[in-house]
Amino acid sequence: MAGIYLHIPFCKKACTYCDFHFSTSLRTKPEVLAAMHTELEQRAAELSGAHVDTIYFGGGTPSQLTDAELKALLDQAHRLFAVTPDAEVTLEVNPDDVSAERLKGWKAIGITRLSIGVQSFREERLRFMGRAHDARQSRESLRLIAAAGFASWTMDLIYGLPGMTMAEWDEQLTTALGFGPPHISAYCLTVEDRTALDHQVRKGLVSMPGDADQAAQFDRLIDRLEAAGYAQYEISNFARSGHHSRHNSSYWDGVPYLGIGPSAHSFDGTRRRWNVAHNIRYAHGVARGERYWEEETLTPAQRVNEALLTGLRTTAGVDLARLPLDLEKSASSVIERYRSQGLLDLRGARLVLTRAGRAFADRIASDLFLTE
Ligand code: SF4
Judge: domain 300-368, CATH 1.10.10. Answer: yes
The alpha carbon of 38 and the centre of ligand 1 are apart by a number of angstroms equal to 25
361 in contact with ligand 1, CB cutoff 6 A: no
Ligand 1, residue 132: give the atom nearest the CA. Answer: 1
Is 3.20.20.70 the CATH classification of the domain at 2-251?
yes
Which residue has the least CA distance to atom 6 on ligand 1? 15
What would the DSSP string read from start to end of 26-53?
Answer: -TTHHHHHHHHHHHHHHTGGGGTT-EEE
Average pLDDT over residues 68-81: 98
Model pTM score: 0.96
Q: Per-residue pLDDT for 254 more than 80? A: no
Confidence of residue 311 (pLDDT cuts 50, 70, 90): very high
Report the nearest atom of ligand 1 relative to the CA of 17: 7
Query: Residue 182: CB within 6 Å of ligand 1?
Result: no
Q: What average pLDDT score do residues 260-270 get?
A: 94
Q: How far apart are the CA of 322 and the centre of ligand 1, in A?
A: 35
State the average pLDDT for the chain: 96
pLDDT in tens, 41-53: 999 999 988 999 9
Q: List the chain domain ranges.
A: 2-251, 300-368
Measured CA to CA, the distance from residue 354 to residue 356 in angstroms comes to: 5
pLDDT at 252 over 80: no
pLDDT at 197: 98
Find, among 313, 315, 323, the residue nearest to 349 by Cα.
Answer: 323
Ligand 1 contact, 118 CB (< 6 A): no
Ligand 1 atom 8: residue of nearest CA: 18
Residues comprising the chain, all counted: 372
Other Cβ atoms less than 10 A from the Cβ of 48: the count is 9
Q: 52-72 in b/e burial notation, b at 16+ Cβ within 10 A?
A: bbbbbbbbbbbbbbebebbbb
Q: How confident is the model at residue 269 (pLDDT cuts 50, 70, 90)?
A: confident
Please list, in sequence order, all residues whose beta carbon lies within 8 angstroms of the beta carbon of residue 98, skipping any fewer than 6 positions away: 63, 116, 137, 140, 141, 144, 145
Q: How far is the CA of 35 from the centre of ligand 1 (A)?
A: 22
The reply to whether ligand 1 has any atom less than 6 angstroms from the CB of 58 is no
Q: Is it the case that residue 248 has pLDDT exceeding 90?
A: no
